[in-house]
């Protein structure tokens, strides 16, 4: 079995696959719970308690994610985060020329890929307004679930604040004006698209791929399609994409070694 781990800022994604890459198990943990329950830090880095996770027979582990700059997973192959995401898309879709938009817990990444290789990228820096954490805050203000929030893309209300904190008070102002939850939710989703547009524009391809937790639900896909006038592909497992990329990296290395 090969284990791919994506140590995200909000959740840890763990995927187990056969040597041929077919997925056998998938797990998503809250980051805090994962480190508390299954992780232990010693001099060498982060040691994962696979026995406690109930996972046996692991031949190779590869890890990626925000966490890996502070902690290396002991005994694992470390994959740079953007590379893991590119490999994940290649594995899941078979595409080789595309622009990937990955919207995660604190990250937004845009990666231009040609012939299966990253040729340019942009990531958010210094501000996490266009990310999942922003959506979580806004869903809480609207008193709806993330699942509900991610359904709405029609007639978005205008939201201008680029700050995830001040955005809340702007949204409350809109609620007071009497707008429906549906158009308020659409407004929240549209504000993310507005925010990442300048990052995507210089890196545009004919094909857009959307991954990350924010890709769950239809709204973001629809809004991106409208914004850029082209199809947006969401792979089967958008949230597990990085972990799946890790598995592909291990398999590529094994192939090379043969």
Partner 1 sequence: MGRIGITTTVPSEVIFAAGHTPVDLNNIFIGDEQPMRFLEQAEEVGYPRNICGWIKGLYSVAVEAGDLDAVVAVTQGDCSNTHALMETLELAGIKTIPFAYPFDRDYDLLKMQIEKLMAALGTNWDEVKRVQERMRPIRRKLAEIDRMTWQDNVISGWNNHLYQVCSSDFNGDMDAFEAWVDELIEKSADAPERTDSIRLAYIGVPPIYTDLYSYLEKRGARVVFNEVQRQFAMPSDAEDLVEQYRAYTYPYRVFDRLDDIKAELERRNIDGVIHYVQSFCYRQIEDMIFREKLDLPILTVEGDKPGKLDARTKLRLDSFLEMLE
Q: Which positions touch partner 1 (CB under 8 A)?
A: 66, 69-70, 80-83, 117-121, 123, 125-126, 202
CB-nearer residue toward partner 1: 70 or 180: 70
CB neighbours of 156 closer than 8 A, spacing ≥ 6? 183, 186, 187, 188, 189, 190, 191, 223
- Output the smallest distance, CB 124 to partner 1, in A: 9
Tokens of 1: 């079995």
Tokens of 245: 């990329």
Contact 74, 43 (CB under 8 A): no
CB-nearer residue toward partner 1: 68 or 221: 68
CB-nearer residue toward partner 1: 104 or 235: 104
- Output the smallest distance, CB 180 to partner 1, in A: 36
- Output the smallest distance, CB 95 to partner 1, in A: 18
- Output the smallest distance, CB 69 to partner 1, in A: 4
* DSSP category for residue 197: H
CB-nearer residue toward partner 1: 21 or 80: 80
Q: How many CA atoms lie within 13 A of 116 on its CB side?
A: 10
**71 vs 126: CA distance, rounded Å:** 21
């Amino acid at each position: 079995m090969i284990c791919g781990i994506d140590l995200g800022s909000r959740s840890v994604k763990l995927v187990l696959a056969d040597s041929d890459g077919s997925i056998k198990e998938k797990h998503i943990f809250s980051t805090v719970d994962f480190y508390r329950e299954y992780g232990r830090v010693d001099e060498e880095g982060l040691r994962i308690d696979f026995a406690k996770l109930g996972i046996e027979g692991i031949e190779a582990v590869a890890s990626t994610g925000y966490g890996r700059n502070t902690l290396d997973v002991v005994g694992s192959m470390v994959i740079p985060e953007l590379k893991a995401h590119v490999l994940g898309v290649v594995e899941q879709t078979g595409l080789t020329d595309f622009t990937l938009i990955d919207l995660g817990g604190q990250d937004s990444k845009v990666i231009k890929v040609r012939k299966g290789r990253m040729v340019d990228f942009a990531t958010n820096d210094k501000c996490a307004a266009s990310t999942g954490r922003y959506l979580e805050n806004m869903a809480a203000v609207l008193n709806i679930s993330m699942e509900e929030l991610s359904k709405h893309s029609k007639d978005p209300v205008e939201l201008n604040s680029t700050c995830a904190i001040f955005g809340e008070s702007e949204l409350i102002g809109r609620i007071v004006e009497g707008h429906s939850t549906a158009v308020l939710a659409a407004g929240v989703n549209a504000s993310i698209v507005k925010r990442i547009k300048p990052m995507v524009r210089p890196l545009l391809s004919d094909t857009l791929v959307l991954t990350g937790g924010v890709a769950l639900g239809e709204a973001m896909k629809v809004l991106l399609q409208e914004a850029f006038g082209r199809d947006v592909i969401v792979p089967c497992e958008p949230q597990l994409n990085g972990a799946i990329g890790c598995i592909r990296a291990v398999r590529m290395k094994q192939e090379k070694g043969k």
